[in-house]
Homo-oligomer: A and B are copies of this chain.
Amino acid sequence: MSPTAQRPDALHPGAGGRATARPTLEEVAALAGVGRGTVSRVINGSPRVSAKAREAVQTAIAELGYVPNRAARTLVTSRTDSIALVVPEAETRLFSEPYFSDIISGVSAELAETDMQLLLILVRNQRERDRLSAYLTAQRVDGVLVVSVHRDDPLPGLLESLEIPSVLAGRRGDLEPLSYVHADNAGGARMAVRHLLRRGCTRVATLTGPLDMEVAQARLGGYRRALEEAGHAYDEDLVGLADFTEEGGRVAMRELLARKPELDGVFCASDVMAAGAMQVLRAAGRRIPDDVAVIGFDDSIVARHTDPPMTSVRQPIEEMGRTMARLLLDEIHERGRARRQVVLATELIVRDSA
């Protein structure tokens, strides 16, 4: 454990303190022998610059290690070159675990090419929600990405009326006016239920998320659709209302089991609910998948570690993040216009629980 090799240079604040005075555009202009305007044009890629002026400027920039001052630019353009990713903290707990990081990772990957900054804003209570409103009203970001939307969330409405470019992960309902990206929840659910039916299940139940979220509705819709396509009547007793959490999954599963002991398959709208359900089923002496087959949704790490490993619907979360960022950048640069929607395909990952 030797002392790590440090650059010797900064341990003594005395001598080498040249780093302080950052070169300005003016200095670049002087060194290149041109005016400020020309340097600015070069930096911003204007075509109205002669080849030799451009080259002189680029050389000077390199030599001085010049980096434009963002604040100065923002002050005059009132662009901030940054976007905010807004995450309601309450929701954070509901997410399939890598969800949050994967979204971030996708967004950040897409932004890496740009010189946009990513601001992270967690909102955990009303006070912070108000602060956020003030913040956004004050035009301090060029665009907003919102993760997780409840039907009655006031934020999207605010964004809409402020006309700030924004993209949602998920949507509030069918007629969402803002741009959004989401996974094909209905399709994934349908796929899962068809898989159960094909396996021979005849009494397929479902555990839903909170029905004021469109995701939950969509997954329930897919469940219903698959059953109807297969000629099964939709039976309300087979629907367990839950909330995406493990404990919620346990409770709902117990009720379901009491109400419909003959069920032989469960499609759960989240992996953690499925994990809870599996515990309850096992406690009730049901073997998985022999007596009851179980499918989750999200394909989170939890799915890989349950016993037996869980079959689950995977959504391309990182890709969602990328797409959100891409749509947002488009919207920022193309001066608004059309709202866009993207639906990404889901995929059934078959393991042993079904």
Closest to A47 in B: B1
**Stoichiometry (number of copies):** 2
The answer to whether A13 and B163 have CB atoms under 8 Å apart is yes
A14–B174 alpha-carbon span in the complex (Å) = 26
When the two chains form the complex, which single residue of B67, B124, B173, B335 contacts A1, counting CB atoms closer than 8 Å?
B173
- Chain A 278-301 per-residue mask, 1 if CB under 8 angstroms from chain B, else 0: 000000000000000000000001
When A119-B119, A120-B104 are in contact, do A71 and B67 touch as well, CB less than 8 Å? no
> Which residues 60-103 of A sit at the B interface, judged by CB distance below 8 A?
65, 67, 69-72, 74-75, 77-78, 80, 82, 85, 89, 92, 97-98, 100-101
A58 interface hit (Cβ, 8 Å): no
The answer to whether A75 and B72 have CB atoms under 8 Å apart is yes
The answer to whether A19 and B137 have CB atoms under 8 Å apart is yes
- Chain B residues closer than 8 Å to A30, beta-carbon distance: none
A177–B72 alpha-carbon span in the complex (Å) = 34
A173–B172 alpha-carbon span in the complex (Å) = 49
When A98-B97, A105-B92, A120-B108 are in contact, do A46 and B10 touch as well, CB less than 8 Å? no
When the two chains form the complex, which single residue of B9, B104, B119, B137 contacts A117, counting CB atoms closer than 8 Å?
B119
The answer to whether A160 and B6 have CB atoms under 8 Å apart is yes
Nearest CB in chain B: distance from A74 CB, A: 4
The answer to whether B89 and A80 have CB atoms under 8 Å apart is no
The answer to whether B92 and A112 have CB atoms under 8 Å apart is no
When the two chains form the complex, which single residue of B44, B112, B163 contacts A10, counting CB atoms closer than 8 Å?
B163
Nearest CB in chain B: distance from A120 CB, A: 5
A163–B6 alpha-carbon span in the complex (Å) = 13
A157 interface hit (Cβ, 8 Å): yes
A126 interface hit (Cβ, 8 Å): no
- Chain B residues closer than 8 Å to A8, beta-carbon distance: 163
A5 interface hit (Cβ, 8 Å): yes
The answer to whether B109 and A124 have CB atoms under 8 Å apart is yes
Among the stretches A183-191, A223-231, A258-266, A302-310, the one at the interface with B is A302-310
Please report A residues at the B interface, Cβ cutoff 8 Å. 1-11, 13, 19, 22, 44, 46, 65, 67, 69-72, 74-75, 77-78, 80, 82, 85, 89, 92, 97-98, 100-101, 104-105, 108-109, 112, 117-122, 124, 128, 134, 137-140, 151-152, 157-158, 160-163, 172-175, 177, 217, 272, 275, 301-302, 305-307, 335
